[in-house]
């Protein structure tokens, strides 16, 4: 099941490709089930006609001048054979009953496919269309907000500040100037939860609960009288409109929509107007981004549910077909319709049909990719330096990404041995089960723009594993040389991860199935091609690479990487070393990387072991 979950998502261009492929397989199985049901019903109909004819033949009255009035041996034999038609008819009747018992399970399977999978597939397809539309809208809104903030920056540089006609809004004992009033309106629009309300005449979008607005003002330090008077003012002046169309004065029991988002004043400075427009544009962009992420999460959950339902149904279909044909052959033997050769031949085919292997073959041959819909990271307004974690190249970080250090540290020791030293890790992660942390790590590796082992090594590694599959020592030496050419951040992160994976299997036999399963699970996350297609999906060398990294970690990667639980190394560290072994020259090539000199190479005359400086 976990293998199916990882291989039936999709590609970067179409994350729903796996679901569409799975649904096509389900539809194919449904058609086959319909054909099998139709075949059984037709077979039953034929047997019923034959059985009825046999009964009529047994009951047929003979003439007085024939076998009926003769006492010869021939008459006795014929009458005996005629009476056996009833016995034969009973055999066919039993066969009919057995064939009829095969139909309900097939009909139930067909009903399950139609009731559970077809609506989910349609929902995923419609959700993906909605996601694409929302994504385009969100990008457009973000572009508009960026434009407004650029205009605001230009206006602030001009330092224009014309004479402004001030106006105050008197609420109880408070006198609110226009800037504070507009800022408060913006807070109410941005921070109070809104929702869509469904009515008979149509749905109302972006509705705010009166009680939520009232509560927010109280949290801002307004007393009940001031808060109610302020909200009454907004209703009377047309800033808020009741969804019922007639709620004056303000009531906490009904919903409202914003009709005016700010107070306009004469001779207002341009920069203030631009600031208000930019803030509003940023709010709309962020709201659209939240809706987009909500739709993405919903689709992702539906895809996971679909896969978990579809794979068992595909397996059940194979089992049903096998059991149905087996029972058909056994039923045919009742009246003796199947000769021994035909029965034995069918039995051989049925015995070789293994449902589990059949589904495994389907997963291996029909898999589409491991990429779910990527998480959308909204822009920050006003623009600030990016704090993104996912989808950021490893080259943007100086050493090992902090998220990997934290997650692997947590997995290595669920309870901190020195709580004070790792308090930040446990505060963030201890509330999550290990499965979630593993999923976060895999998602992080999956969303790297360039895979951990670099897409430039994808084809060379493929050739390596095709040409040196049997020669272990030669393969490892070549693999070590290739890994040593990785960029520093990729090399250090790969070393860090490989050391951790090696620690997991240190007490296992190298041929243990758990190591193979772990390699198969992580292969596509550590090594991916630049462009994924139907051919690269079937490649096995990423899994073999991970297995070599796990089993031969200390031979393949040598670095000054700190262990999981050690403090983060200094960001000012100037150099790291690694070794490239050259078999043909019987020497080692040490690559020395510094921030000042870049990448330089020195050759040592003698063969040396792993260097760690």
- Model confidence over 284-301: pLDDT tens digits? 888 888 889 889 889 988
131-135-137 Cα angle (round to 5) = 120
> Which residues are bridge partners to 601 per DSSP?
591
Q: What is the pLDDT of residue 105?
A: 93
% of the chain at pLDDT higher than 90: 12
> How far is the C-alpha of 212 from the C-alpha of 232, rounded, in Å?
15
User: Which whole number is the average pLDDT over 277-281?
Assistant: 84
> How far is the C-alpha of 438 from the C-alpha of 440, rounded, in Å?
5
Residue 8 has pLDDT above 80, yes or no: no
Q: What is the pLDDT of residue 78?
A: 84
Per residue in 441-491, pLDDT (tens digit) is 888 888 788 888 888 888 888 888 887 556 677 888 888 888 888 888 888
Q: 515 falls in which pLDDT band (50, 70, 90)?
A: confident
Token pair belonging to 212: 């939520």
Whether 171 contacts 233, CB under 8 Å: yes
Give the Cβ contact number of residue 239 at 10 Å.
19
Per residue in 356-414, pLDDT (tens digit) is 888 788 777 777 777 777 777 777 777 655 566 777 787 756 678 877 877 777 776 54
Per residue in 332-356, pLDDT (tens digit) is 776 655 445 555 666 777 777 788 8
Q: Where are the domains of the chain?
A: 2-134+293-366, 168-268, 394-569
For domain 394-569, give the CATH number.
Answer: 1.10.555.10
The candidate with the shortest Cα–Cα distance to 459, out of 507, 533, 530, 520, is: 530
> Which residues are bridge partners to 9 per DSSP?
none
> How far is the C-alpha of 146 from the C-alpha of 150, rounded, in Å?
6
Q: What is the pLDDT of residue 426?
A: 40
Residue 116 burial by Cβ neighbours in a 10 Å radius (0-12, 13-18, 19+): middle
Whether 575 contacts 560, CB under 8 Å: no
Higher pLDDT, 600 or 226: 226
Residue 144 has pLDDT above 80, yes or no: yes
The candidate with the shortest Cα–Cα distance to 118, out of 250, 29, 26, 220, is: 26
Residue 126 has pLDDT above 50, yes or no: yes
User: Which whole number is the average pLDDT over 89-108?
Assistant: 90
Residue 310 has pLDDT above 50, yes or no: yes
Q: What is the pLDDT of residue 104?
A: 93
pTM given for the model: 0.62
Q: What is the pLDDT of residue 383?
A: 61
Per residue in 189-238, pLDDT (tens digit) is 888 888 888 776 677 888 899 999 999 998 888 888 888 888 888 888 88
Architecture per CATH, domain 168-268, reads as Orthogonal Bundle (1.10)
DSSP secondary structure, 188-206, as one string: HHHHS-EEEEEETTEEEEE
Whether 164 contacts 397, CB under 8 Å: no
Token pair belonging to 462: 């493929």
For domain 2-134+293-366, give the CATH number.
Answer: 1.20.1270
Per residue in 33-84, pLDDT (tens digit) is 999 999 999 999 998 998 899 888 888 888 777 877 777 788 888 888 888 8
Q: What is the pLDDT of residue 335?
A: 62
Q: What is the pLDDT of residue 595?
A: 33
Whether 21 contacts 8, CB under 8 Å: yes
Tell me what the pLDDT averaged over the chain comes to: 76
Higher pLDDT, 327 or 592: 327
Q: 601 falls in which pLDDT band (50, 70, 90)?
A: very low
User: Which whole number is the average pLDDT over 255-262?
Assistant: 84
Whether 571 contacts 515, CB under 8 Å: no
Stretch among 230-239, 521-530, 566-575 having the lowest mean pLDDT: 566-575
Q: 611 falls in which pLDDT band (50, 70, 90)?
A: very low
User: Which whole number is the average pLDDT over 114-130?
Assistant: 90
Stretch among 149-163, 226-240, 570-584 having the lowest mean pLDDT: 570-584
Q: 433 falls in which pLDDT band (50, 70, 90)?
A: low
């Amino acid at each position: 099941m976990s293998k199916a979950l990882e291989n039936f998502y999709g590609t970067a261009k179409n994350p729903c490709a796996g679901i569409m492929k799975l649904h096509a397989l389900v539809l194919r199985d449904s058609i086959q089930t319909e054909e099998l049901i139709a075949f059984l019903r037709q077979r039953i109909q034929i047997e019923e006609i034959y059985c009825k004819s046999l009964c009529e033949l047994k009951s047929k009255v003979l003439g007085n001048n024939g076998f009926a009035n003769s006492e010869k041996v021939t008459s006795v034999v014929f009458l005996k054979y005629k009476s056996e038609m009833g016995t034969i008819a009973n055999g066919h009747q039993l066969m009919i009953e057995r064939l009829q018992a095969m139909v309900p399970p097939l009909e139930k399977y067909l009903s399950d496919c139609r009731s559970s999978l077809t609506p989910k597939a349609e929902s995923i397809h419609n959700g993906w269309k909605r996601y694409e539309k929302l994504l385009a809208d969100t990008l457009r809104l973000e572009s508009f907000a960026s434009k407004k903030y650029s205009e605001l920056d230009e206006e602030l540089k001009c330092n224009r500040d014309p004479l402004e006609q001030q106006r105050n809004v008197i609420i109880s004992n408070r006198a609110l100037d226009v800037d504070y009033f507009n800022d408060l309106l913006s807070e109410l629009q941005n921070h109070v939860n809104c929702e869509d309300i469904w009515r008979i005449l149509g749905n109302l979008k972006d509705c705010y609960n009166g009680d939520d607005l009232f509560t927010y003002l109280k949290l801002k330090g307004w007393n009940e009288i001031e808060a109610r008077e302020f909200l009454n003012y907004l209703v009377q002046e047309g800033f808020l409109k009741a969804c019922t169309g007639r709620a004056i004065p303000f009531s906490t029991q009904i919903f409202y929509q914003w009709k005016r988002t700010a107070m306009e004043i004469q001779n207002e400075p341009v920069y203030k107007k631009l600031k208000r427009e930019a803030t509003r544009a940023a709010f709309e962009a962020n709201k659209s981004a939240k809706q987009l992420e909500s739709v993405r999460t919903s689709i992702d959950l539906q895809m996971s549910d679909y896969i978990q339902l579809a794979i068992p149904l595909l397996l059940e279909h194979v089992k049903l077909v096998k059991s149905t044909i087996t029972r058909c052959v056994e039923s045919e033997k009742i009246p003796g319709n199947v000769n021994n050769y035909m029965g034995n031949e069918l039995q051989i085919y049925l015995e070789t049909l293994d449902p589990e292997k059949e589904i495994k073959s389907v997963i291996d041959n029909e898999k589409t990719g491991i990429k779910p819909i990527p998480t959308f990271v909204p822009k920050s307004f006003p623009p600030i330096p990016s704090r993104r974690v996912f989808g950021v190249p490893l080259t943007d970080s100086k050493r090992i990404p902090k998220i990997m250090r934290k997650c692997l540290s947590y997995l290595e020791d669920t309870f901190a041995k020195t709580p004070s030293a790792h308090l930040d890790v446990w505060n963030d992660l201890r509330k999550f089960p290990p499965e979630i942390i593993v999923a976060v790590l895999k998602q992080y590796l999956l969303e790297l723009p360039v895979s951990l082992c670099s897409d430039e090594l994808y084809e060379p590694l493929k050739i390596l594993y095709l040409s040196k599959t049997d020669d272990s020592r030669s393969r490892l030496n070549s693999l070590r040389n290739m890994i040593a050419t990785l960029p520093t951040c990729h090399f250090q992160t790969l070393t860090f991860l490989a050391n951790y994976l090696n620690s997991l299997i240190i007490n296992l036999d190298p041929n243990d199935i758990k190591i193979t399963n772990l390699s198969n699970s992580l292969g596509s996350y550590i090594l991916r091609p630049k462009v994924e297609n139907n051919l690269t999906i079937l490649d096995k060398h990423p899994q073999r690479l991970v297995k070599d990294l796990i089993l031969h970690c200390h031979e393949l990667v040598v670095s000054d990487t700190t262990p999981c639980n050690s403090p983060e190394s200094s960001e000012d560290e100037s150099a790291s070393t690694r070794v490239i072994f050259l078999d043909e020259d019987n020497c080692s090539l040490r690559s020395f990387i510094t921030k000042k000199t870049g990448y330089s190479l020195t050759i040592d005359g003698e063969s040396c072991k792993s260097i760690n400086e």
